[in-house]
Amino acid sequence: MTDLLHAEDIKKAVGAFTAAESFDHKKFFQMVGLKTKGPDDVKKVFHILDKDKSGFIEEEELGFILKGFLPDARDLTTKETKTLLAAGDKDGDGKIGAD
């Protein structure tokens, strides 16, 4: 992940959301620097987070998304996971695709 994003940005972003129910995906992705990356780099990050390499990030994988950025990060709560899924699941199939 640090090949694409700055380690210090990742650490600060993960640290900002250590409390349960504090995760804000828009702020988090901005803080780690994804908002300034081009589509190719965003897809590279997506594929890192797609742990089962299915081409999609499913609800179960979303719960562990912070650990994809920093291994000792916390898991998202069920509510945070569902909120993140709803934000990224454009076609309602219960998973998020790279596009």
Residue 24, marked binder: no
Rg, the chain, Cα only: 12
Q: Is 4 exposed, middle or buried (0-12, 13-18, 19+ CB in 10 A)?
A: middle
Residue 3, marked binder: no
Residue 22, marked binder: no
Residue 99, marked binder: no
Q: In whole angstroms, what separates CA 77 from the centre of its chain?
A: 13
Residue 90, marked binder: no
Annotated binding site for Ca(2+): 50, 52, 54, 56, 61, 89, 91, 93, 95
Annotated binding site: 50, 52, 54, 56, 61, 89, 91, 93, 95
